[in-house]
Structure 1
Amino acid sequence: MVEINDTGRTDDRIVGDIRTRLAHDSARKHVSGEALYIDDLAEPAGLLHLHPVLSTRPRARVVSLDISAAIACEGVVTVLTADDVPGTNDFGHEGLDDDWILASERVAYVGQVICVIAAETLDAARMAAKTVRIDFADETPILTVDQAVEAASFLQDLPAVTKGDCAGELAAAPHRISGTIESGAQDHFYLEGHIAMALPKEDDDVHIYSSTQDPTAVQHLVARIMDIPANAVTVEVRRMGGAFGGKETQATQFAAIVAIAARKTGRPAKFRLDRDDDMRITGKRHEFASTYEVGFDDNGRIRAFNAKMGVRCGNAEDQSPYILARALNHLDNCYYLEHVDFSGLLCKTNTVSACAFRGFGTPQAFVVTERVIDRIAFQLGLDPLEVRKVNF
């Protein structure tokens, strides 16, 4: 923007350019502690506090669920079970009926929510949760990629990423290496854990404060779960205390539970997870177990690269196909590879569903490729940097 100043001279300063100091709109509030997160909001009159009862089995039938003692506890208003879900008992964003809000007939991982205590105080809810009795009929769980492969437990098939003649070039390469590399899970560990608060409105409308990265998805999915129109659900997100992908799909479950509690009781409800429960219930970074076979020449130039990535997806699909797709398409990293065959397996396991995490499959791919580069350099006695340059 060009301005004319009082002297008649042109001021060619660009307003908002990279030289302009612009403060973050909440920076002062964040550093001073004035910024309000959901748990800082004034509690509305009659607020109920929620606490979950979790599965202690990775795979089992629920033979019986006895909540009578919990209901009789002092301060307990109600106990939410799957029978209280008005609509679809599924918070999965793909709508596959594989991510239950409240498990009923079966449990699919340790930490799955079975019922939720709603009480006048959080302490009362916690105490009552200890009185719930659940009888399980255990089944053999599938916990690892290898166990899933052996049992043919997969979510869906995903097309391979291929280019050139990988098999032919691999056979003709003067040098070859092969190996396996595993990358483990990782918790998001956002400073603000999962939390949601619902205020019941007239005509079954509900106003939800949610710590989510995807308020529109929360709105539409809660509407489906509550069996009401989407415009009957208002989702408010002022700020989040960190997310890193962990609040893309996972926040919907807790928003739905407070909405169910508010509908059933006619009172506001807040569900703030304790840190240990947060880590048990919610998804992690996807674990990968990858095998590779690579052919290369005397200069370290990769002639052929074959890789297969086994992904521990957990009990539900969530965003696993997209994670694996990105990993397969990023296995070449910054290198020019002429002959490749990259494939993967989406392994369904009796573990918490893995979910989005910063990098979205790319870090798991890069660690394989960079390990291959280092192994080539070691085998040929070359500087790893030179091997990287020759493949760029």
Structure 2
Amino acid sequence: MSDQSMASDTASASLCDPIHGGVAQPITHDSAHKHVAGAAFYVDDLPEPQDMLHLYAAQSPHAHARITSMNLDAVRQASGVVAVIRAADIPGHNQIGAVFKDEPLLADGEVFYNGHPMFVVAAKSIEQARAAAALAKIDYEVLPAILGIKDAHEAQSYLEPPQSMGRGNVETALNRAPHRLSGRLSVNGQDHFYLEGHVSLAIPGEDGDVHVYSSTQHPSELQHLVAEVLGVASHSVTVEVRRMGGGFGGKESQAAIFAALAAVVSKRTGRAAKFRLDRDDDMIITGKRHEAEIAYDVSFDADGRIDGIRFEQFIKCGYATDLSLAVSDRAMFHADNAYYLPNVDIKSFRCRTNTVSNTAFRGFGGPQG
């Protein structure tokens, strides 16, 4: 037998051999037993360092307003309060925009949505922090607010100019087909409702470094954003994520709000600082799935085959950009679904509203499109 024949026989035999190793063997997830036994440690389960501070963010009661005065003397003097942080106290940049820097960490003279954090109280207990925040004396000049897609479109309030993509001659196709249908559909927003809410624990280290435990889907981005807020190099910030109790996109960019504020307090006081949100505060402060309204005009033949179709997609983005441009792009890209559309026109309006800045969510624009 030639060497070539032997090699061929060996190769054929190896293809028929059963698979050995990890691919064919059941391997227990390293945390599965901890999950079912309730023994898995999440950020809020970590041992709390001595003298750790608890954080609470005071939130705007208005969707859009100018802050004309803010007196926090009573807040600072309240029982258990160690520090009060305003926008002016941020040592670096008061920005946490993941892509575009249009998202202030703390409101600086103007609030852009109902729930916008204005200042943070650090106290010996969360109860003390929450009670102290209620003592603030703040005056506002309430400004016109754009709350919905219709209002945004009428005011031409967009994050960027409307985007278009298409193929063929839509106008001709719409007019020549024997059947034509038009309408409008709405896709509501949705809260991520992860079982573990947003939580961050910041611990001061040597030489001004800070170690942040965070329930985040994007630790490297979080590291950079926290460093920018602190005004330090990225290597001065360590972010650790052992596990998350759910995220679904809601902890991709949004976790930066709480990690950055915890880090600012920790660096300012030299003490550990935890920012753990109650569910109601979590739902008010953080972004959701993008609401959308889609107008369509479609022509088709007797067999239901589409000849021409026009879409207008209106995406409710909120007050800041966050990841809305990419989400809106994906909605456009998914508009054809499983169909070939020979003549199509898709126009996307990325609506800026005085609501919480919407963010990533499973599907990332696909469900809307």
Q: Which position in structure 1 is the counterpart of 2:63?
A: 58
Residue 218 of structure 1 aligns with an amino acid whose one-letter code is L
Q: Which position in structure 2 is the counterpart of 1:279?
A: 283
How many angstroms does 1:11 deviate by?
A: 7.6
Matched, 1:295 2:299: yes
How many angstroms does 1:264 deviate by?
A: 1.1
User: Distance in 2 between the 1:173 and 1:14 partners?
Assistant: 59
Runs of at least 5 residues in structure 2 that lack an aligned partner in the other structure: 1-15
User: Distance in 2 between the 1:149 and 1:105 partners?
Assistant: 26
Matched, 1:90 2:70: no
User: Distance in 2 between the 1:29 and 1:285 partners?
Assistant: 31
Equivalent of 2:44 in 27, 39, 44: 39
Residue 274 of structure 1 aligns with an amino acid whose one-letter code is D
SS in structure 2 at match of 1:260: helix
Equivalent of 1:229 in 220, 233, 238: 233
How many angstroms does 1:158 deviate by?
A: 5.0
Q: Which position in structure 2 is the counterpart of 1:112?
A: 116
User: Distance in 2 between the 1:236 and 1:84 partners?
Assistant: 25
Matched, 1:181 2:185: yes
Matched, 1:159 2:169: no
Q: Which position in structure 2 is the counterpart of 1:124?
A: 128
155-164 or 70-79, which deviates more = 155-164
Indicate conservation of the 8 Å contact 2:292/2:315, yes or no.
yes
Indicate conservation of the 8 Å contact 1:324/1:361, yes or no.
yes
SS in structure 2 at match of 1:335: coil
SS in structure 1 at match of 2:367: helix
Scaled by the length of structure 1, what TM-score is found? 0.89
The CA deviation string for residues 249-273 of structure 1, in whole angstroms up to 9 with x for no partner, is 0001111000100111111100000
Residue 44 of structure 1 aligns with an amino acid whose one-letter code is P
Indicate conservation of the 8 Å contact 2:318/2:356, yes or no.
yes
Instruction: Report % sequence identity.
Output: 48
SS in structure 2 at match of 1:160: strand
Residue 22 of structure 2 aligns with an amino acid whose one-letter code is G
SS in structure 1 at match of 2:22: coil
Q: Which position in structure 2 is the counterpart of 1:220?
A: 224
Indicate conservation of the 8 Å contact 1:158/1:321, yes or no.
no
Matched, 1:308 2:291: no
Residue 70 of structure 1 aligns with an amino acid whose one-letter code is V
Indicate conservation of the 8 Å contact 1:182/1:289, yes or no.
yes
Residue 215 of structure 1 aligns with an amino acid whose one-letter code is P
Q: Which position in structure 2 is the counterpart of 1:74?
A: 79
309-318 or 165-174, which deviates more = 165-174
The CA deviation string for residues 290-334 of structure 1, in whole angstroms up to 9 with x for no partner, is 111000011111111100001110000011110111110111111
User: Distance in 2 between the 1:13 and 1:311 partners?
Assistant: 49
User: Distance in 2 between the 1:56 and 1:249 partners?
Assistant: 24
Residue 15 of structure 1 aligns with an amino acid whose one-letter code is G
User: Distance in 2 between the 1:188 and 1:117 partners?
Assistant: 26
Matched residues, number: 354
Residue 46 of structure 2 aligns with an amino acid whose one-letter code is L
Indicate conservation of the 8 Å contact 2:163/2:349, yes or no.
no
Indicate conservation of the 8 Å contact 1:158/1:325, yes or no.
no
Equivalent of 1:170 in 152, 170, 174: 174
How many angstroms does 1:13 deviate by?
A: 4.0
User: Distance in 2 between the 1:11 and 1:139 partners?
Assistant: 73
User: Distance in 1 between the 2:100 and 2:171 partners?
Assistant: 39
How many angstroms does 1:157 deviate by?
A: 2.6
Q: Which position in structure 2 is the counterpart of 1:15?
A: 21
User: Distance in 2 between the 1:326 and 1:309 partners?
Assistant: 11
Q: Which position in structure 1 is the counterpart of 2:354?
A: 350
Indicate conservation of the 8 Å contact 1:161/1:329, yes or no.
no
How many angstroms does 1:90 deviate by?
A: 0.6
User: Distance in 2 between the 1:154 and 1:190 partners?
Assistant: 30
Residue 210 of structure 1 aligns with an amino acid whose one-letter code is S
Residue 21 of structure 1 aligns with an amino acid whose one-letter code is P
User: Distance in 2 between the 1:247 and 1:129 partners?
Assistant: 25
User: Distance in 1 between the 2:182 and 2:113 partners?
Assistant: 34
How many angstroms does 1:169 deviate by?
A: 0.6
The CA deviation string for residues 155-203 of structure 1, in whole angstroms up to 9 with x for no partner, is 1135322011111111111111111111111000000000001011122
User: Distance in 2 between the 1:221 and 1:113 partners?
Assistant: 17
How many angstroms does 1:246 deviate by?
A: 0.1
User: Distance in 1 between the 2:61 and 2:99 partners?
Assistant: 26
SS in structure 2 at match of 1:147: helix
Matched, 1:341 2:334: no
User: Distance in 2 between the 1:167 and 1:35 partners?
Assistant: 59
